């Protein structure tokens, strides 16, 4: 599982990141993994975001921040939600945690590298 947390639908960096996962979705699938995105946006916002950018993976709504808090996703400046990606094995082991607020495209590159190393 590639689980990526991002701050907000339809913002510059988050759109770049989500589209980067979309553009590499086939490669991630070939590595026998699934992708899911998580933000505090509503399910309705996610539905629009998915349709608008043709995202082939689900987005989870974590409006109350329970999942974000449970996985200790760090906040960014001024309390803004952080941008963190987890790569999780089929056995439920967290293989990698990558945190970069401004490295939008680095998240997918790193996730693919970890998946390839653990295939």
User: What does DSSP say about strands 59-61 and 84-88: parallel, antiparallel, or unpaired?
Assistant: unpaired
Sequence-ordered list of residues with C-beta below 8 angstroms from that of 30, at least 6 positions apart, any chain? none
Euclidean distance between CA atoms 86 and 95, whole angstroms: 8
8-53 confidence digits (pLDDT tens) = 999 999 999 999 999 999 999 999 999 999 999 999 999 999 999 9
Domains in the chain, number: 1
Within 13 Å and on the Cβ side, how many CA atoms surround 117?
10
Q: What pTM did the predictor assign?
A: 0.93
Token pair in block for residue 117: 């190393």
Q: Which of 2, 4, 5, 14 is catalytic?
A: 14
Greatest extent of the chain over all pairs of C-alpha atoms, in Å:
39
Q: Is 19 a catalytic residue?
A: no
Domain that residue 81 falls in: 2-117
For residue 67, the domain's CATH number is: 3.40.30.10
Quickly list DSSP for 64-106.
T-HHHHHTTPPP-GGGPPP-EEEEE-TTS-EEEEEE-SS-TTH
Residue 105 has pLDDT above 70, yes or no: yes
């Amino acid at each position: 599982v590639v689980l990526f947390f991002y701050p907000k639908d339809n913002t510059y960096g988050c759109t770049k990141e989500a589209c980067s996962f979309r553009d590499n979705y086939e490669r991630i699938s070939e590595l026998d993994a699934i992708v899911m995105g998580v933000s505090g946006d509503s399910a309705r916002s996610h539905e629009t975001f998915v349709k608008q950018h043709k995202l082939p993976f689900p987005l989870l709504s974590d409006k109350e921040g329970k999942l974000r808090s449970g996985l200790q996703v760090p906040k960014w400046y001024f309390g803004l939600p952080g941008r963190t990606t987890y790569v999780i094995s089929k056995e439920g082991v967290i293989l990698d945690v990558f945190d970069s607020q401004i490295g939008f495209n680095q998240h997918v590159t790193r996730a693919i590298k970890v998946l390839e190393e653990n295939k």
